[in-house]
A and B are shown apart, each in its own frame.
Chain A
């Protein structure tokens, strides 16, 4: 069955450093991969989408890579700030089964210490 793996352990980093979060998947060939931010008790907020034929995408301090051979996406936040502390979810869409409804991972909690 399709599986999305994100590190369940919280990532603790110091302010100003680069945070790197990992999303691995199996039994899936997505057409798109998304990253969302979710704060406690609130709805996910869309951050970035990357297509299967794209290797890298950037938006301000965010960078996403997508390696369809390794079946892995890396999400980087450069010059991290305490306000970046949240849970980050990856989601896969399309291709397998044909649905473009996002299938979410459980997310990784990021804690940025001042």
Chain B
């Protein structure tokens, strides 16, 4: 079965650089979520999109932005990167009427040096 695809899987950036993470949800899933997970931490919700419109906003810094495109893939844009942004970034997708069952991607490991 198709799963959530994320790219790149690993990314190394320097402070103050920008990064773009991509997410391709499971076909026919209408909702995409972005999470940030630091080492030993719980996944922190950043932002979500339903049918290409932002639906919920969590602890996403102002330096970050995201959008969902017409083909339902989503991108998380991160600017002015800081050392503290180093983390695993997960994308998840679900169907709105799918009893809130989220399917997570493999994640992008971002390292800021």
Contact = CB atoms under 8 A, between A and B. Distances in A.
Measured as residues with beta carbon below 8 angstroms from the partner, the interface class of chain A is 20 to 34
B41 A102 contact: no
A45 B100 contact: no
Contacts of A101: 33, 45, 48, 56, 58
A106 interface: yes
A34 B90 contact: no
Contacts of B99: 49
A46 B43 contact: no
B14 to A, nearest CB: 23
Contacts of A107: 42
A66 B43 CA distance: 22
Interface residues of B, number: 24
A41 interface: yes
Given A41-B107, A42-B107, A44-B43, A102 B102 contact: yes
Contact of A46 (B88, B90, B103): B103
Nearest to B3: A43
Contacts of A103: 45
B45 A43 contact: no
Given A101-B33, A102-B102, 15 more contacts: A34-B100, A41-B109, A42-B106, A43-B90, A43-B105, A43-B107, A44-B43, A46-B103, A49-B100, A89-B42, A94-B100, A100-B100, A102-B100, A104-B44, A106-B40
